[in-house]
Each structure stands twice: as C-alpha cells, then as structure tokens.
Structure 1
Amino acid sequence: MKSLGVEIKSSTCVLVLLDSADEIKEATKIELEDPYCATSVKEFFDDLKTWLEKCNADVVNIKKRLEKGKFAGGASSFKIEGLIQLAALVSVNLVGGPELNRLAKSVETLPAMKKYQEQAYLAALSAL
C-alpha cells in the first residue's frame, strides 16, 4: 500500500509518498504561484494531477488547518486542498494536528528528511 501525506503551507503543497514499509518513496513541493490567476491555478492543478498519477498512491492524507482564529489557514491553502481533492482518484482524508503529534511521539526515530517534510510524512504514516 502506498500512502501520500500532504501538508499545505500558505501557497505551497508538501507531498511525501510512503510505501507499506514506512519508507519514503518520493517527496516534493508544488507551489501555487498566484492563487488569483486562473492560468496559475490551472498549471498548479495540472502539475498536481500529473504527480498524483505518477505516484499511484492508494490513499491521500492531508494535515488539517484551522478554519478560524489566530492560526487559521489562508484562503489559498483551502483552494489547494480543494484542488487536491479534485485531482486525487483515491480516498482523501483530513488528519488533525493533535493526531499527528501523538503519532510523532510513538515513532522512535524519523527517517532522514528535510524538516519541512515531517508533517507530511506523519500524515502519510497515519494511513499505514
């Protein structure tokens, strides 16, 4: 089983693909250059869809963002979430931050990866 974890930060989408052995198969970032430009949104969607088809994940887990309050996600992050849900041909789930924090405590050591990929990794791991 392959699991894809996604963390959306501002207008950037961090993607980490894991296999059933919890090993990172692939990781990348896709950026939405201008969320107000239809051409930019279409290019982002096409890049995302191509990457999702190439990675052939069985499930996609997205780290939830707050909708209200001081730490609420921006409009472009929710636009990206919608585009992921449209582009994915498999089940898309939202995973809360507290659940990912509990999972992080239960994992003895994280594999070698960049710091910004950790939350996407944990989101992918939560599906396995």
Structure 2
Amino acid sequence: MRICGIELTGNDAVVCLLSSEHGLFNLPDSRIRKLTLPKEHTRADLQRFQKDLVQFLRDYKVERVVVKERLQKGKFAGGAVSFKIEAAIQLIAEPNIEVHLISATQIKAILADSPQPVPFQETGLKQFQEGAFTTAYAGHYL
C-alpha cells in the first residue's frame, strides 16, 4: 500500500510518501515535498491546490492519504488557511484514494505500540518532512 502523510504548517501541506509491502517499508522518491496555498488566495487558488494534490496522488498511485489533524484551540491551534487546506484534502473525491485524519494523540499511541523501524535522520528526507513521515508511518496502522 502506498501512503501519503501530510502535515499542515501555515499555508503549506508538507508531504511524504511511504510504501509498505509484507511488513517492509520503502520511501519512494517524490518530485514534490510540499504544496502551498497563497495567503491571499481565491476560490480558484483553492481549487488549483486540490487539483494539484490529486494529480500528485494519481501520479504516485497513492491509495491512502493521512493528514495530521490541526488543533482547533490552544497554543498550537491551526490558522484559517490550514483549515481550508485540511477541508480541501478531506473533500478529495477519488474512488481509489481513502483520506483519513489522525490526531497527534493517535500518532503517539501508534508509535508507542509500533516504534519506527529506522530513525528519521537515516531516511534521507528533509528535516521539515519529519511530521509528514511520522504521520504516514502511523497511517499504515489505521
């Protein structure tokens, strides 16, 4: 199964691909590390963002998208743009792609039961992709 983990930061959707077969994990190369929605965006910009993401998911034959859920209150609450991005991702209407939201609490619980087989530093991913990688890994167990 090919999974795309997504972490929302500001007006960016940071992505990480993870493939798993028979208990073995692989990190496929990807031409995109993040997609950005302009801060001063229009309806057309939001539709373009969703279209670009769907095309990316099709190109890499992603079967499951897992988004790290944004907090609605508190110190680390998400901004308005990130909630729009989250909604655009949730509304993807592709028959072969399932979309899931996962909370930070759920991710911690999954990592406690099934620790990552390799430290993030050894993955070859960029540091800003760590949250998306962790989300994709936890999404494997949904």
State the TM-score, normalizing by the size of structure 1: 0.87
C-alpha separation between the residues in 2 aligned to 1:127 and 1:63?
A: 9
Q: Does 1:80 align with 2:85?
A: yes
Alignment partner, residue 116 of structure 1 = 128
Alignment-mate amino acid for residue 70 of structure 2: R
Which portions of structure 1, spanning 4 or more consecutive aligned residues, are displaced by more than 6 angstroms? Answer: none
Pairwise CA distance, 1:64: 1.2
Partner of 1:11: 11
Q: 2:98 pairs with 91, 94, 108, which one?
A: 91
TM-score (normalizing by structure 2): 0.79
Asked whether the equivalents of residues 34 and 40 of structure 1 are also in contact (C-alpha less than 8 Å), the reply is no
Superposition pairs of residues 1-128 of structure 1, within 5 angstroms: 1-20=1-20, 21-25=24-28, 26=30, 28-34=33-39, 36-87=41-92, 89=94, 90-102=97-109, 103=111, 106-107=115-116, 108-110=118-120, 111-128=123-140
**Number of residue pairs aligned between Structure 1 and Structure 2:** 128
Distance 1:66 1:48 in 2: 22
Deviation for aligned residue 1:70 = 2.2
Structure 2 counterpart SS, 1:78 = helix
Query: Gaps (5+ residues) in structure 2?
Result: none
Alpha-carbon shift at residue 35 of structure 1 (Å): 5.0
Q: RMSD of aligned C-alpha atoms?
A: 2.0
Deviations, residues 70-113 of structure 1 (Å, cap 9, x unaligned):
21101111110111122252221111213334528822422121
CA apart distance, 1:8: 0.6
